[in-house]
Amino acid sequence: MAATALSRFADGGEPAADPSPLKLTQETRLGLKPGDARDYRKFGGFYLLADEKGIYALTTTCTHRGCTVHLEGDGTFGCPCHDSSYDHQGRVIEGPAKLPLRHFEVRESEPGGPLVVDTSKTVPPEVRL
Ligand code: FES
């Protein structure tokens, strides 16, 4: 499955038959605190994060040549291919990458309900839920 393919899962669950954006449980949403980062690489190629302004999702794909970035212990992201690094908001700290990590759309499936992350939709980096 390509990183941009859309599939529906409950947290840690199996994909359903009909493709749609990844839906996360209410428990996931309530557990996110500023500074947190959750790894959803195997479910759709993104990290789910939170800061003081809200919740957002970042691609796992390095903007230099497309390797998968890894979450570091200090909350930054590092690329193992050519050592680019990005901060918690996806901004470049160190190249060779020149562009920030893409932000994906995060929305509520219903008001106050579970989250939906759509890796087919890029949003401006300042957007938070
Ligand atoms: S692909 Fe990430 S630094 Fe080159």
How does pLDDT run across 65-110, given as a tens digit for each residue?
999 999 998 989 999 999 999 999 999 999 899 999 999 999 988 8
Residue 10 belongs to some domain of the structure: no
Q: Quick check: CB of 97 below 6 Å from ligand 1?
A: yes
**Could you tell me the pLDDT band of residue 21, with boundaries at 50, 70 and 90?**
low
Kindly state the tokens that stand for 81: 């291919």
Residue 51 belongs to some domain of the structure: yes
List pLDDT tens digits, range 34-68: 999 989 888 778 999 999 999 999 999 999 999 99
Rounded Cα–Cα distance for residues 71 and 5 (Å) = 22
**Could you tell me the pLDDT band of residue 7, with boundaries at 50, 70 and 90?**
very low
Rounded Cα–Cα distance for residues 64 and 85 (Å) = 11
Residue 90 belongs to some domain of the structure: yes
- Domain that includes residue 110, residue range: 35-123
Which CATH number covers residue 56?
A: 2.102.10.10
Residue 108 belongs to some domain of the structure: yes
Residue 8 belongs to some domain of the structure: no
Residue 59 belongs to some domain of the structure: yes
Q: Quick check: CB of 101 below 6 Å from ligand 1?
A: no
Overall residue count recorded for the chain in this entry: 129
Substitution candidate for ligand 1 out of 58, 76, 79, 85 with most atoms within 8 A of CB: 79
| Number of separate domains in the chain | 1
